[in-house]
A = this chain, B = another copy of it.
């Protein structure tokens, strides 16, 4: 069995790579065969601290990982400004690409990456973990239940956390040369993805950013939000993302007959079980002295944490391609691109003075 595992190479020693590399070791169909950093020492320490297999090759460059024939796929948690260079090179070297979000600084850059993956026949997936939690599928079933949920009318999503002084000074996500999209690209990625997910990835017609985002001194966005409009069934969605508010990861979804809420959609409070709260056909009581029913909690258990499920699914797709049984799954690059398209539209709306921006795919 071991020899058939998909062998990951990891580019860089980002903090998030600690969590994702653990997932690679927990997933039954993947392993880690190489890690590269500009600093060999840093990579060596990282591999040791994160209990990489003895056999893992440790390199002092990213190129060496891409040149290693024992690497089937790369995980790229590098700063966004480096994604085009390294994801394209990886694809050209026939490595499948698991790319951290935001996948690119704009959709033009993303297209370069996706074209490279397509022409090399490698799988592309962004590392949005919550997509792979079984709760996500369960919540989608709720939305799809015409009888109990009715028509989708409104979505409000929030992803915020309170960055500390060190983050706000030093983190790559607030550095205009590394992650110029700031909170929009980072926290906003999830909030926007949640809206698209709820709408079965039907893109809105227009996006209108809310006035007065917060910026740091380098004009990197620290908080912002927008409304998304479909011009269809009066559907509306709004989101808010921030590095300046208490950790909050909410989706509120409202249908004609039902609604539900989740309060930890990005990373569940508990990695073994995810909850959401739903209700349908709510009614006033006699004399409007009360109403009901109260929302019910739905608990979805998972043996494997969502990041392991993500890695396992990526591995499964790569296996299929390697064995010649399947082509790369197009769903994932399409979802990434749609998310990026909305991020670009929000950024354009902000840049142009909070005007409505037409969404062009």
Binding site for B on A (CB under 8 A): 16, 18-19, 22, 150, 153-154, 156, 158, 160-162, 206, 208, 210-214, 223, 225, 227, 229, 231, 234, 236, 238, 240, 242, 244-248, 250, 252, 254-259, 261, 263-264, 267-271, 279-284, 287-292, 294-295, 305, 354, 356
How many chain copies does the complex carry? Answer: 2
User: Is A211 a contact of B247 with CB atoms below 8 Å?
Assistant: no
User: Is B19 a contact of A288 with CB atoms below 8 Å?
Assistant: yes
User: Is A231 a contact of B254 with CB atoms below 8 Å?
Assistant: no
- Chain B residue with minimal CB distance to A150? B246
Which residue of A153, A246, A255, A292 has the most chain B CB atoms within 10 A of its CB atom?
A: A246
- Chain B residue with minimal CB distance to A231? B212
User: Is A269 a contact of B294 with CB atoms below 8 Å?
Assistant: yes
User: Is A256 a contact of B290 with CB atoms below 8 Å?
Assistant: no
10 CB < 8 A contacts A-B:
A158-B252, A211-B356, A212-B231, A212-B234, A242-B254, A245-B259, A267-B288, A267-B291, A271-B289, A271-B290
CB distance from A169 to the nearest CB of B (A): 17
User: Is B254 a contact of A246 with CB atoms below 8 Å?
Assistant: yes
User: Is B211 a contact of A283 with CB atoms below 8 Å?
Assistant: no
User: Is B212 a contact of A223 with CB atoms below 8 Å?
Assistant: no
User: Is B254 a contact of A267 with CB atoms below 8 Å?
Assistant: no
With A18-B287, A267-B291 as known contacts, state yes or no: A156 contacts B257, CB within 8 Å.
no
Chain B residues with CB below 8 A from A290, complex form: 267-271
User: Is A162 a contact of B257 with CB atoms below 8 Å?
Assistant: yes
CB distance from A200 to the nearest CB of B (A): 18
Chain B residues with CB below 8 A from A295, complex form: 263
User: Is A153 a contact of B242 with CB atoms below 8 Å?
Assistant: yes
User: Is B223 a contact of A210 with CB atoms below 8 Å?
Assistant: no
Chain B residues with CB below 8 A from A280, complex form: 246
Q: How far is the CA of A280 from the CA of B248 in the complex (A)?
A: 10
Q: How far is the CA of A35 from the CA of B70 in the complex (A)?
A: 87
- Chain B residue with minimal CB distance to A250? B252
Chain B residues with CB below 8 A from A271, complex form: 289-290
Task: Apart from A22-B287, A211-B236, list 12 A-B contacts with CB within 8 A.
Answer: A16-B288, A19-B288, A154-B225, A156-B156, A210-B227, A245-B254, A247-B282, A247-B284, A248-B254, A267-B289, A269-B294, A271-B289
